[in-house]
Amino acid sequence: MPTSRTPSTSGFEQLLREAALRVTRPRLAVLTAVYGHPHADTDAIIDLVRGELSDVSRQAIYDVLRALTNAGLVRRIQPAGSVARYESRVGDNHHHVVCRTCGTIADADCAVGETPCLTASDDHGFAIDEAEVIYWGLCPDCATISSRSSASSAPSSAVS
């Protein structure tokens, strides 16, 4: 599993203060959910947060996710054909592998370098700060299934 250092509640409070965000219970609950469930989608985060704080509206959680993303405390990723997902591993420009069949996402470190894949051969004058790479394929579970029943190759579009 990913190497996630999950801060304590006071650690989350400090993260919020360092980002000049007011410490609120919904923000703490969303941070806890994202740290505990890397690459969770919005619905999953809403379920987790409302399990803790049942009086928080969906819209409030959307707003918190946006604020945390804008502040750089969480990273939003959205592979083509997938809903937005969130993770706490920010700042290292890592990439993702996505299963074409079930939509499972895993982290993929870059092969080399400190700020990998940031060196464009021609930056067209842009100040580039991020490169996004998605490796598409089949996860081990789906690869096993498809090799067992290779006759029927119709992809199921099950997205959790």
In the complex, the residues that contact Zn ion under the rule CB under 5 A are 87, 99, 101-102, 104, 107, 139, 142
| Choice between 59 and 147, CB closer to Zn ion | 147
DSSP three-state, residue 113: coil
- Cβ contacts of residue 31 below 8 Å, gap of 6+? 12, 15, 16, 68, 73, 74, 88
Q: How far apart (Å, rounded) are the C-alpha atoms in residues 24 and 26?
A: 6
Tell me whether residue 32 or residue 101 sits nearer to Zn ion (CB atom). Answer: 101
In this structure, the strands spanning 95-99 and 134-137 are parallel
CA distance 97 to 109: 10
Minimum distance, C-beta of residue 25 to Zn ion, in the bound complex (Å): 26
Least Å distance, CB 139 to Zn ion, is 3
d(CA 58, CA 159): 20
Please tell me whether residue 138 adopts helix, strand or coil conformation.
coil
Considering beta carbons, is residue 24 or 146 the nearer one to Zn ion? 146
Whole-number minimum distance, CB 138 to Zn ion, in Å? 6
Instruction: Choose between 41 and 87: whose C-beta lies nearer to Zn ion.
Output: 87
Nearest distance from C-beta of residue 32 to Zn ion, angstroms: 17
